[in-house]
Each structure stands twice: as structure tokens, then as C-alpha cells.
Amino acid sequence: MGQVKRPGEFELIAGYFRPLAGGRPGALGLADDAALIDVPEGRQLVVTADLLTAGVHFLPDDPPDLIARKALRVNLSDLAAMAAKPFAYFLTCAFPETIEEGWIASFAAGLGRDQAEFEVALMGGDTTATSGPLTLSITAPGTVVPGRGLRRSTAKAGDLVTVSGTIGDAALGLARLQGRLAPVPGDDYLVERYRLPQPRLALAQRLAGLASAGLDVSDGLVADLGHICEASGLAARVDAVRVPLSPPARKAVEREPKLLEAMLTGGDDYELLFTLPAGREGELADLPVAVIGRMVEGRGVRVFDAAGEPMAMKRSGFQHF
């Protein structure tokens, strides 16, 4: 397919992206070279950035509104990982020449939908054309009360390893889309979990001042827990049978037990993985979280099966290089 006809860069910005900047005076109507951000008194600025590329982070034929929402949500998940509250984002798009105006309109509509849900707004960015794959970069600032942001490096030996939601759904959803997973009841839920992650922003606010360390699960449960271990100078023991699974994921594992390793090491869950001082788990009794292990002296992550035997993992998680 050759180049398609669509409005010029500034017409696209004015028609589809400037409306997303409404309600943020510092965005200056996307008419200046940069934005102005006022940080509320008594808060620290937290800033994250994520780059997403077609064929790596999403499938090229995924619906454009869901691509947009995933791009925004993975950044909001990074802010949740540090117990920060988001308030804006900056978007850079490298659009292939084959993308039509209707695609961009749907993309912008997806952003608008999530802006309303998460109370954020576009404050700037850039657009360009590319001969390569669709590439999106979002930078998202948020704020946190000083001293209450979650870090990776502050876990203590004896802390409980805790995770929100369910693990492995996105890995199975991607496998289903790529034809590597046979149908299971409810597999549309698995696909949705891959395409549309749920940033745990409300839970993150509950964890501020309670959890000892944390991050979000983007590269895989085992790999991301390994990041906490490395930063904190500790090891972790995980009981695989305690890792929470959704009903369709559990059905898939019952049919094909070897899938469990892929679920523990697959990416795109965007759940919160955090450590909690022992004895304080009762403070989260009303929340969808599960204790799956414990931080111990040593190095690395060890996962044990139902018989108490260590599982041999071929890999710990997703790596770009």
C-alpha cells in the first residue's frame, strides 16, 4: 500500500490532539514549543516515559483506539508503581505513511476516553512520518508526597512478596492472538488483558506508606521481582501455587501445565508487585492482592512448585536486547 492522503501535521494536531489538551492551561493550546507545569506545594514531581513499537508492544492490526489506550495506560502503571498520582502526559507519534486520517481519529478518540477515566490531559509532544513501523512514545508526569513514593531498593528480609490482580493473562492473550494457544473458555478476557492493561492507581495510593518496595509487572513476574531483589540486595522465594490466576488462565494451565512457566515470565500484566512488612497483610484484606512469597537473604528469585521443588526457568522474563 502506498502513501495515503491525510491532513498535514499541523492540521492533524489542531483537529485531533489540541482538543485533548483542554482543561490544562499549562498546555498553552499546544501552540508553543513547551508546556508549563506547576507542581503543587508539598508534592514531588514523578516522571516516566515509555516507547511502544508495532510488532513489539502491540500487534500492527490491533484497533487504533486500543493501541492509544494501552500506550497511555502502561505509563500510568509506571506512575502507580511509585504510588504517584498522574495529571498529564506528552505524546510523540511516528506515523507510517500508510496510516489514514480515520485511523488517527480513532486513536485520538481512545486517548480521550482514557483521559476522562484517569483525569489526565495531553500537554504536548510531537508528530512525524516514518517509513518504519508505528512508534509511540509517552512521557507522563505525576506527583507524590515526599517520602511516600515506592522504590525498588527498599525491601527488607522477611517482607512478604505480594501481587495485585491475576498474573499471566496478557501472555496467554498474546499467544491466543498469534495462534499459539488453543481456544479456552473466556479467552476473550485474556486478549483484552493484553490489549488493555489496568493501571492500579487506586491501589497504589493505599500502598503509599505501607508497602516497603514495589514496581509494576511489565517484563514478567519473575524478572520484575528480580529487579526488586537486585536493587534491595536480597533474594525472593515464590510459591507458584499461590500466584493468582484468572479462571480462563487456570483452565489453560490445567489443560497444558507447561504454560505456567510462560505465565510467570511473560510480560504485559501491569499489576503491582510489592513487598509488605510481615504482619501487615491484614491491612489489605479488602483488596484484590495475594501474598505469593517472601524476601530472604541471598540473591535472585527461586520459584517452587506444588511439591516444594524449585522450578527450572528457561528465562526470567521479556528482554528487548
- Listed as own residue / partner, the contacts of 20-28 with beta carbons closer than 8 Å and 24 or more positions apart are 20/108, 20/111, 20/112, 20/115, 20/121, 20/122, 21/121, 21/122, 21/123, 21/124, 22/121, 23/121, 24/88, 24/121, 24/122, 24/123, 26/88, 26/123, 27/88, 27/121, 27/122, 27/123, 27/124
CATH topology assigned to domain 9-144: 60s Ribosomal Protein L30; Chain: A; (3.30.1330)
Query: Could you tell me where in the chain the CATH 3.90.650.10 domains are found?
Result: 160-304
Strand partners, 124: 90
For the chain, give the mean pLDDT: 93
* pLDDT value of residue 24: 79
For the whole model, what pTM was predicted?
0.91
* pLDDT value of residue 3: 57
* pLDDT value of residue 316: 65
CA dist 105 and 119 (Å) reads 20
CA dist 110 and 73 (Å) reads 11
Query: Could you tell me where in the chain the CATH 3.30.1330.10 domains are found?
Result: 9-144
pLDDT (tens digit, 0 to 9) for every residue of the chain, 321 residues total?
Answer: 455 667 777 787 888 888 888 777 888 888 878 889 888 899 999 999 999 999 989 999 999 999 999 999 999 999 999 999 999 999 999 999 899 999 999 999 999 999 999 999 999 999 999 999 999 999 999 999 998 999 999 999 999 999 999 999 999 999 999 999 999 999 999 999 999 999 999 999 999 999 999 999 999 999 999 999 999 999 999 999 999 999 999 999 999 999 999 999 999 999 999 999 999 999 998 899 999 999 999 999 999 999 999 998 877 655 543
DSSP for 200-263?
Answer: -HHHHHHHTTT-SEEEE-SS-HHHHHHHHHHHHT-EEEEEGGGS---HHHHHHHHH-TTHHHHH
The class that CATH gives domain 160-304 is alpha beta
* pLDDT value of residue 320: 43
